[in-house]
Structure 1
């Protein structure tokens, strides 16, 4: 099967826009032209990608699976093009990092700022992705290293523990539980709670703990990430159990954080391609990450 990038560009545009007309506008093409490109792509891959319903296109399950592969393809193509430009300009290579959101949203930007202060000419690409995607990118050598939550689903990379910490309870500074040194399931009985969605691993551990304690929290709002959970807590919508690095990033006088017992582990690993040695720039960035990790954990738990 030959790969025609234009067909995949049209496919990606429809997935983003949600309609053929929207994709045509994004691509600067006519709607019939975009429709023909999708027909050719479906013939090429041998599966139906969209259901046509009353003038609308509805992605099939196969389309959602293909989208992840297409985005990885375009990342790889962009990386190759960028590499060629940098080589033509005689520039040294930089550092590519993939990080789960718990570290990628605030923690790693601080690391990158410290790194750039030491290496002002160095180029850094920070990709914030879910852990399973971080695994894929490291295994396929699309980045120099990654940070992902354990356990892993793939192979093809070397790992070592980056952080072995615990989740904490976030609450408004004036909340009745703020005076406690630690929070247990019994303290959460009848308390408004901002929780993770069921797909999050820590949610399943939390549910098991609460069920064992015979406590049913009033989970009125759910989210997939700790950062918006902290924002919801700050707005008085309840308390939440969040990862310690987001807690460090979200600290301000309006929020307090307390250890949650029994402990919910927050284990994050450093992933590196097993067939490629780390560059000096990557080692510097990893070293700064480890320094800030120690600072953050100390600040949250001391």
Structure 2
């Protein structure tokens, strides 16, 4: 299958019209329509419904677009790699990490690593834990950091972080007066929740249900840093990972221990294939140093 057909599909998904895709590709609308027809024929899937000059993606199109986007990211990575080889910079590390580590922790690790290894480039992707797992299993990256448990195989794993989640509360909230918060303390409280794809959401829901505690969900998100910002706005309390708690210190947000402890277990993952083990090990060494330095600052 020619990449041009997939590119046409990708741009149509982005623009929502054949005309928009034609402008982006520098082709006629009829040529783009023929490309779309050919792709549907090759895949034996109907990708769009045509209505009044617009194309409406089918459920099948939505199911395929993530894989197509991932393929184009890999293609772009290949082009970048080729450029590095042409320029004489043959070493490059590709990694994928979950948002809890990707927003603030990862840049610190990359900085530490790059100061020691200025000749090695780093390409990073911030993805959900499920996507990190998928990318490592498919050998699209050399290193992944994601929350367990995993659903796939085909990679090696080691523990990277095994620490309890902590509770973030507005500094003026009544719970800020406690050193330790328990489920019963949350009865009737407004709470900023994880989305259902995050393992911690299921753990907390089960814990609260077992304790007979009902909370008022005011918002859902998959980002600890967003939770901290919402706590600052007094939208509710939130259970967040310890790394984000340490990296987003805010005088308006208090961090409290929560019991029973809910474990935040993040593993490092490497594909089961030949890869730049020395480079990966060097990067992991920097990540472990940064992790240990942060965890030493815990004051809860």
* TM-score greater than 0.5 by the shorter chain: yes
What CA distance in whole angstroms lies between the structure 2 residues aligned with 1:19 and 1:255?
A: 46
| 1:1-302 alignment runs, 5 A limit | 3-300=1-298, 302=300
CA displacement at 1:129 relative to structure 2? 1.0
Mapped partners of 2:198, 2:220: distance in 1: 11
TM-score, normalised relative to structure 2: 0.93
Gaps of 5+ in 1: none
**Contact 1:99 1:131 (C-alpha < 8 Å) held by counterparts:** yes
Query: Offset at 1:12?
Result: 0.9
Question: What TM-score, normalized by structure 1, do the two folds share?
Answer: 0.92
Once the two structures are TM-superposed, the CA of residue 150 in structure 1 deviates from its matched residue by: 0.9
CA contact (8 A) 2:89 2:119 kept: no
RMSD over aligned Cα, in angstroms?
A: 1.8
Q: Which moved more, 1:135-144 or 1:52-61?
A: 52-61
Q: CA distance change for structure 1 residues 26 and 258 in 2, over 3 Å: closer, same or farther?
A: farther
Q: CA 1:275–1:214 in structure 2 vs 1: closer, same or farther (change >3 Å)? A: same
Q: C-alpha offsets along residues 66-92 of structure 1, whole Å, 9 cap, x if unaligned?
A: 212212322332233222222222213
C-alpha contact (below 8 Å) 1:21/1:31 kept by paired residues: yes
Q: 8 Å contact 1:229–1:240 — kept in the other structure?
A: yes
Partner SS state of residue 263, structure 1: coil
Please tell me whether the aligned partners of residues 247 and 300 of structure 1 are also in contact (alpha carbons under 8 angstroms).
Answer: no
Give a deviation string over 1:229-265, Cα, whole Å, max 9, x none: 1111111211111111222222222212112211111
1:301 Cα deviation (Å)?
A: 5.1
Q: Is the 8 A contact 1:259 1:301 kept in 2?
A: no
CA displacement 1:17-67 (0-9 Å, x = unmatched): 233333334334343332222111111111011223444322222212221
Runs of 5+ unmatched residues, structure 2: none
Whole-angstrom CA distance in 1 between matches of 2:55 and 2:164: 44
Secondary structure at the residue paired with 2:125? strand
* C-alpha contact 1:257 1:300 (8 A) present in aligned 2: no
Mean Cα displacement is larger for which, 78-87 or 110-119? 78-87
CA deviations 1:238-293 (Å, max 9, x no partner) are 11111112222222222121122111111111001112244322211101111111
Moved more, 38-47 or 75-84: 75-84
Classify the secondary structure of the residue corresponding to 1:256.
strand
More displaced, 126-135 or 270-279? 270-279
Give the C-alpha shift of residue 199 in structure 1. Answer: 3.2
Count of aligned pairs: 300
Deviates more, 1:34-43 or 1:77-86: 77-86
